[in-house]
Structure 1
Amino acid sequence: MSNNALSSIEQAFTPLQIGPLLLKNRFIKSATNEGMSPQGVPSRQLVEFHAAMAAGGAALTTVAYCAVSADGCTLPSQIRLDRATLPHLRVLTDAVHAAGGAVSAQITHGGCFTFTKVEGKRRPLSASGGFNKIGLMSGQFFKRAMGSTDMQRIAEDFAEGARLAREAGFDAVEIHMGHGYLLSQFISPLYNRRRDEYGGSLANRMRFPRQVLRQVLDAVGDDLAVICKFSMTDGVRAGNRPEDGVEIARHLAEEGAHMLVLSAGMNAESITTMFGSSFPPENRAVVTNPIMKAAMYLQQLAEKPRDFSELYLLKYARQVRSAVNIPLAYLGGLTSADGVNTLISEGFEAMALGRVLIHDPTWVNQLRDGSMTRSGCTACNRCVAMMYTEGGTSCVLGKPGDPLLNSMPAAG
């Protein structure tokens, strides 16, 4: 039977080729901060978290925020891709493979979006220097514009991070180019005020992110799928608009990315654009870090309340779909079989799920056998704050993470 003769749900369970990687179906667990790497060491809880995603039916699960440089971490508990973490990451990738899935490492650098101070470095790196509004809470009041030597080092750090991911058994890497992290700081005019060949026009602002993508492809592109996640719109005045998102996609496709994950928004300025709905006040109650608690409070004051609606980023994703001819993973509020039908019928090759799979890792299998067509996730966004708890990220409607497992190194 041809794909054309299959229903949309059946097509969602057909294999998908992404570069050198063949996925068993079209469902991807998107990267979501797990809070399961105390002092940067992947825990047994992190292993169980991702193995459950694979066992529940997701073809590919994504390990969030693996920093490629010591100065690239955004939080003290963030994974650093280095030799010390390889044994722990190997336990994780082996567990995911044993559960029948593939696994991706999201490789990133926080730039000036960091709450971690690096010894010997007074100012975090960014596209442009000057006042660092993100650093107000952590005492890093200024940022430093990257020079050519910085760019060469960071690009090689991304390439080496990808090589280490390959050595740790990962099947793919996802380069994070959105949400206000370093590469996003180059892409967005909100952060990039440069007047050299890396600033000004979008083509210039894409120059360094394209360099990073090229070096990662050259390093591992024959062995691992190389995916790029980016913001189709920054969702804030003076940032990138949807038409810019289309051009960003064209640049990444031209450079050779194997697939794009279509997200939106910025962590500090427009988080409701990213999540499609507002954060509840209850989130601050579970956060013990005073810096993060204060940041969340200020963020809620700055953004207008928004109610959740399914497929809230589809209007932007359609524009990208019409502009490029490479695999696209839609991300943003998929909660039902009807949503799957819509995305498949509109030509999206893959579907990335975050909150839905945190709520129930088995949802993909239940969708396949017809036992459930709509997720029980309420998009309350309380799972986001759970990453700061001892057990790590979990759904408040279900079982919390295990603090004991989360205190035990994966390879311990």
Structure 2
Amino acid sequence: MNAPQTTPMPQAGSPLTLGPLRLKNRLIKAATNEGMSRDGLPTQQLVRFHEGIAAGGAALTTVAYCAVSAEGTTLPDQIQLNEAALPHLRVLTQAVHRQGGAASAQITHGGCFTFIRGRGRPLSASGGFNKIGLMSGQFLKRGLGEADMERIAEQFAEGARLARRAGFDAVEIHMGHGYLLSQFLSPLYNRRRDAYGGSLENRARFPRRVLRRVLDAVGDEMAVICKYSMTDGCRGGNGIEEGVEIARQLEREGAHLLVLSAGLNAESITTMFGSSFPAENRAVVSNPIMRAGMYLQERFQREIPFRELYLLEMARRVRRAVDMPLAYLGGVSSAANVERALGEGFEGVALGRVLIHDPGFVAAVCRGQALHSGCTHCNRCVAMMYTDGGTSCVLGRPGDPELNRRPAAG
């Protein structure tokens, strides 16, 4: 980082109110899959990771991928929002609160984006051929019926209630990146011919039901955030026009904040991350399914160089369309980037890779230092989630494998 300069940034350090939650500043740790849970339970390494983010100044740190049911997990070692996880989640939120931060649980269901076999056909918006299952031998998926939708909507509500009992200050409903709610929103996955398919209004009907159920369950006690993809980033999927309309619908339903992401895990991951993935990622991944997926992405997706604020043009269009709070996400690498995003009218800024590299980036920004993050956006931290120590920056110290074997409350 460059030497500090006494340039106040009062906007970045000013409080932000999201529903019933008041944040101490406007900088949020975005959800980034950590690889720090075992058998559905948070580990001591996960506690250390998020405590460090809070100590570094982030107003809100987001715990990635908390599945609302066992069938909603994508990989075996992911947090499940159930009674067994409750004491371990409490350890995490208490650690974050001790550092003066707030904690958000990203609640989601993977749908057909799952690599766990033996549970029958994976669920999705529509049934039939399951292209995601080519890597795991699950070649067919099942479309949700009305009873399935009611059950899963209630699972989201119950997951949010459990998150509140665990001490979380917010929940983030994941509606992007190709998981179940994204599968309803995207015409790539949603081929239904009933009230939940066809028009975008119909495709958004089930995600809006989930949002309403969660708001009714916990919206008076905690912030309810939605993360979604402004564009699917590939042919046949949603474009930014649909992304703008999705934002309007989520605003009408009452979400407290939208986190503006983009892309799908399988079809357009470079849209999500703003740059290509290096071949070195496969070298640290032992899971053969993940290695195969990374190879296919490298083989068939064109080389994309990183550029700062790579989602800003699309995010501006959403900003013009709605009045609700929005968090800009994508390529924020410096104090100047933070200032620009806030100056463009976004209420918050969500940070991912730069905080994996240096959790203290937030405190430095809020102190008014003229700095640029040392994160190179090489995307190698993405593959680190599959290592014994979990997600870390390859330029720094790796996670502790021993702590990553111990349950948080163990």
- TM-score normalised by L of structure 2: 0.97
Structure 1 residue 8: Cα displacement: 8.3
Q: Deviations over 1:131-186 (max 9, x none)?
A: 11111111111000000000000000000000000000000000000000000000
1:252 is matched by which residue type in structure 2?
Answer: L
Alignment-derived partner of residue 13 in structure 2: 13
Instruction: Give the SS at the match of 2:272.
Output: helix
1:181-192 to 2 correspondences below 5 Å: 181-192=179-190
| Cross-structure match for 2:40 | 40
State the alpha-carbon separation in 2 of the partners of residues 280 and 76 from structure 1.
25
SS in 2 for 1:403: coil
Q: Measure, in 2, the Cα distance between the counterparts of 1:233 and 1:299.
A: 18
Aligned partners of 1:409 and 1:111: how far apart in 2? 27
CA contact (8 A) 2:8 2:367 kept: no
Output the CA distance in 1 between the equivalents of 2:294 and 2:351.
24
Question: Identity of aligned pairs, percent?
Answer: 73
Quick one: higher RCO (CA 8 Å, sep 6+), 1 or 2? 2
- 1:69 shift after superposition: 1.1
CA separation in 2, counterparts of 1:199 and 1:8?
A: 50
Q: 1:8, 1:237 → 2: CA distance?
A: 44
Distance 1:401 1:384, change over 3 A: same
Partner Cα distance (1:252, 1:369) in 2: 34
* Structure 1: unaligned runs, 5 residues or longer: 1-6
Return the alpha-carbon distance in structure 2 between the equivalents of residues 349 and 318 of structure 1.
Answer: 12
Q: How does 1:6-405 map to 2 (within 5 A)?
A: 9-117=9-117, 119=118, 121-371=119-369, 373-405=371-403
SS in 1 for 2:17: strand
| 1:92-127 residue CA offsets vs partner (Å, 9 max, x unmatched) | 00000001100000000000000112x4x3201000
Structure 1 vs Structure 2 CA RMSD: 0.9
Cα distance in 2 for partners of 1:224, 1:274 equals 27
C-alpha separation in 2, matches of 1:392 and 1:52: 15
Gaps of 5+ in 2: 1-6
C-alpha distance in 2 between matches for 1:270 and 1:327: 26
Per-residue Cα deviation, 1:278-323 (whole angstroms, up to 9, x for no partner): 0000000000011110111011112111000000000000000000
Residues 51-103 of structure 1: CA distance to partner in whole angstroms, max 9, x if unpaired? 00000000000000000011000010110000000000000000000011000
Shift of 1:206: 0.3
CA deviation after TM superposition for structure 1 residue 9, in Å: 2.3
* Superposed structure 1 runs of 4+ greater than 2 Å apart: 368-372
Q: Tell me which amino acid in the other structure corresponds to 2:301.
A: E
Matched to 1:400, the amino acid is: P
Kept in 2, the 8 Å contact 1:51–1:95? The answer is yes
| 2:226 alignment partner, SS class | strand
- What is the aligned residue count? 404
